[in-house]
Structure 1
Amino acid sequence: MYVNKSKIKVRYVETDKMGIVHHSNYYAWFEVGRGEFITESGMSYKEIEKQGIMLPLVESCCKYIEGAKYEDELIIETSIKEMNGAKIIFNYNVIRESDNKLLAKGSTTHAFVNNDFKIVNVKKKHHNIWEKLSILYTK
């Protein structure tokens, strides 16, 4: 299984009055990890959308273990948990680089849909997208 590692440095704007990263920022970091993961497949989100496929979010979760703080250097590990013709589930680990501490873990589920938001079986209808993502899923 392929795991993409994205690096992020916590910005001041991402923290709250307590100096801890606000919970909503983790989902933005998941998006960074997911975007870089897809790029590693040899295509971008933009290229997938040009082929008439979109990946709307249908479910998300995040377990917060320890709060990240201003200027922490983080690694967002992204992998595919599950993939079939109609959906893809990504897993994420947010790790503080200095001590390798797991700070949060989560997942997002995305449907494969066309421009009319009808579910599409990419395995059958967009074999090139399926192949590129499958290589990283099975790697």
Structure 2
Amino acid sequence: MKSHQTYVKVRYAETDQMGVVHHGNYAQYLEMARIDWLEELGVSYGSMEKDGIMLPVYVMSFKFLQPAHFEDTLRIETKLMELPRVKIGFEYTIYNQNEQLITTASTVLVFMDSITKRPVRCPQFLLEKLKD
């Protein structure tokens, strides 16, 4: 399946008193990586929302192996788990600038109609992009 690399530099505000990235920031890192993954395919998340498709998170899990610190440059590898239907799943591996694996994660999101708030099938244009 398609994978993509995203780079994030840890900001001071993302760390706690110990100089470690607070776990709550990792959800934002994953969101940045997913949006970057979509853009690499030529799909704008903003355009999908304008077209009435939302992607709320259904499941999110993390395994924190080592801490990230202020000024670390993180490499987030985002990989599609399988071709999406109503749900789309991603696996992530996060490495620091020394290529040490620091975190693994996964998310499952649901394609949802923004008006009815009901699940819908993955848009055909996205499936076509994934087949290229």
Structure 1 length-normalised TM: 0.88
Q: Does 1:65 align with 2:62?
A: no
SS at match of 2:38: helix
Contact kept? 1:41, 1:135, Cα under 8 Å: no
Q: How many residue pairs were aligned?
A: 131
Structure 1 unaligned spans of 5+: none
What corresponds to 1:105 in structure 2? 104
* Aligned residue type for 1:111: V
Distance 1:135 1:66 in 2: 36
State how far apart, in whole Å, the 2-side matches of 1:135 and 1:6 are. 22
Task: Please identify runs of 4+ aligned residues in structure 1 that moved more than 3 A.
Answer: none
Name the aligned partner's letter for residue 31 of structure 2.
E
Q: Contact 1:54–1:112 (CA<8 Å) still a contact in 2?
A: yes
The equivalent of 2:92 in structure 1 is: 92
Deviates more, 1:47-56 or 1:30-39: 47-56
C-alpha distance in 2 between matches for 1:111 and 1:63: 22
Does 1:127 pair with 2:124? yes
The percent identity for this pair of structures is 37
Root-mean-square deviation (Å): 1.3
Partner amino acid, structure 1, of 2:91 = N
Equivalent pair of 1:95/1:102 in contact (CA under 8 Å):
yes
CA distance in 1 between partners of 2:106 and 2:23 (Å): 14
Give ranges in structure 2 of 5+ residues lacking alignment: none
Partner residue, 1:22: 22
Instruction: Measure the CA separation in 1 of the matches of 2:74 and 2:15.
Output: 14
Shift of 1:77: 0.8
TM-score normalized with structure 2 length = 0.93
**3-state SS, counterpart of residue 23 of structure 2:** coil
Tell me if the contact between 1:74 and 1:95 (Cα under 8 Å) persists in the aligned partners: yes
User: 1:79 offset after TM fit, Å?
Assistant: 1.1
